[in-house]
Chain A
Amino acid sequence: MNAGHNAGFVVEPEGAVRTIEASGPPLGILPGARYSIETFRFPEGSRLLFYTDGMTEVFRADDEEFGPERLLERFRECRERDCDGMLNSIWQALKEFAGEIRQRDDMTALALHRRQAVQSVNP
């Protein structure tokens, strides 16, 4: 369920990308707002990233924003098998992008990865 937040990313093993869009405004904006819970397939090898806007609103010296496109691209390119490694890789990319520019917003991300089942080989 996404309540007025940046769209979450789901990257499938084949590289297909699906976004989890907001199903309503941010909580507290409109009285009586309703939200829906979305259910989707999450096959083996899939990865999911939820993040706050501080991750995309990282700026470099020429005032260019990191943006959701770069974040998705970086997430897709992650070859790490565990989520901590993926997040480290993303944080490193953000740091390199910003250079000397100080972080302007809080950054939080949560990653989920469904591991590929190891197929047993019968002799």
Chain B
Amino acid sequence: MPREVFKPSAPLVIALRIWNPGLSWGAMTSGVRDHGPYWITDSERAMAEIDAAQKGLQLSLTPALIVITGECGIGVCLLLLWIAERERRELLYFALYLIATGLSLVLGAWVAFSGASSYWYRLGFRPLNDVAFLFLCMAAALFLRLRPLRWQILAAAAVLSAALTFRTIFYLYPWLILLVWQCVTALRKSARANLPFALPLLIYTVAILNNTLDSGLRIFPASIGFAGTTLSVTNLIQLLFAGAMLILMLERLSSDRREKLRLASELDSAREIQRSLLPQAAPQIEGYSVGFRSSACCEVGGDYLDIFALPSGEQVMIVADVAGKGLPAACRNVLPIRFPRRRRGGRIVDRGSRRTHRTAALERGTGGPPALCHRDLSKARPRRSFRRRGECRA
């Protein structure tokens, strides 16, 4: 209400209701009710009340802005991280949780400080919190390395929460039950591994639960005074929870990065090993030109190529393709194929037990040089296919 409305000593009597956010900020989520207090006053007193309310509003906005900025800031950071990495879907879910929570706080603050109807509070603030907790439950399953919650369970929680949204302040209870259940399951599975994620989650859950209880039943107060302002303990815990999750997620991403570097290094080694298995040069055969080329689509390939000479002087050339691509195919490619290879001096080296019936069959083969073999190795049961090489016959 503008100050100009009130003129000193004017014989005006007005009915005035002022909700002092400086006192009620801590219970913002449950304290906004259109029930007064109302009283009859004159213009001087009304001006004094308005002055006090505006001062309280300014003081209350500071912690609100800190919480909102903190939550949305961390949420945006996590969202950008997810966009950059496109891995760890918990990053996305947790970012959406934080952004939805931040937006709900913006809406709640607007409702509280503008004096808008609490209808908006129920229509905007609470449904946004429902959405936020849906994402939190989905993120928690991934944080705690549990199986994702079934959509039926999530849908049931959402329906129940929506049904409670317009009636009670206990509308988050379905989500809180799910979160506690997930934490307990994860801790029973592996307390040591899951405690860093489960503990902040449980503390946060208890803080929300505490906020919905009557003041006499609360474990800790809903708000505390600090530097002339009132801080919501729940919002403070929420902010600390978001910060803890950010640190834990960064640590997990860093661990992922180290693992990727290790795997990349091993793949480099595998690529080098595979290249060394290819013939180093085409054989020089009088009257013939021989050429080969191989390029893998992944770090290592599933194709195999070999050229070697038999004791009879015949040249054997093999082109093989293992079903599949990448490392699995490369492993099947290298392991079962153990043909004798030519040494530098051109001698055939029989590798003892690696000598196969197939080699013997090839040695028996007739026909002028070079002999050619073109085959396809199935990914099915490579060990058995190794034995069956002996069944090739001329």
Q: Which A positions have Cβ atoms within 8 angstroms of B?
A: 1-5, 8, 20, 22, 26-29, 31-37, 39, 44, 48, 50-54, 81-88, 91, 102-115, 117
Contacts and interface: CB of A to CB of B under 8 A. Distances in A.
Given A1-B375, A27-B377, A34-B392, 9 more contacts: A1-B372, A28-B385, A34-B393, A83-B292, A84-B293, A88-B293, A106-B294, A106-B295, A108-B319
Contact of A1 (B305, B321, B373, B385): B373
A20 B291 CA distance: 19
21 contacts: A1-B373, A3-B374, A3-B375, A3-B392, A28-B385, A28-B388, A31-B384, A54-B297, A84-B291, A91-B293, A105-B297, A106-B302, A108-B293, A108-B294, A108-B305, A108-B321, A110-B290, A110-B292, A111-B292, A112-B288, A117-B287
Interface stretch (B6-14, B94-102, B103-111, B363-371): B363-371
B373 A103 contact: no
Contact of A81 (B287, B289, B366): B289
B378 interface: yes
Contacts of A22: 376
A4 B292 CA distance: 20
A114 B381 contact: no
Contacts of B365: 37
Contacts, number: 168
B289 A112 contact: yes
Nearest to B291: A83
Contacts of B389: 27
5 tightest Cβ-Cβ pairs between the two chains A and B: A83-B291, A28-B385, A28-B378, A3-B375, A108-B303
Nearest to B378: A28
A27 B287 CA distance: 33
A5 B374 contact: yes
Chain B interface size, as a band, is 35 or more
Contacts of A102: 297
Interface of B: 282, 287-298, 301-305, 307, 317, 319-321, 323, 325, 329, 365-367, 370-382, 384-385, 388-389, 391-394
A105 B143 CA distance: 36
Contacts of A86: 291
B375 A106 contact: no
A103 B297 contact: yes
Contacts of A3: 373-376, 392
Question: Among A31, A108, A117, which residue has the most Cβ atoms of chain B within 10 A?
Answer: A108
B370 to A, nearest CB: 7
B297 A104 contact: yes
A27 B385 contact: yes
Nearest to B317: A110
A4 B392 CA distance: 13
Nearest to A26: B376
A35 to B, nearest CB: 5
A52 B291 contact: no
A4 B376 contact: yes
A11 to B, nearest CB: 14
B8 to A, nearest CB: 79
A115 B391 CA distance: 34
A106 B372 contact: no
Given A31-B384, A37-B394, A106-B297, A82 B374 contact: no
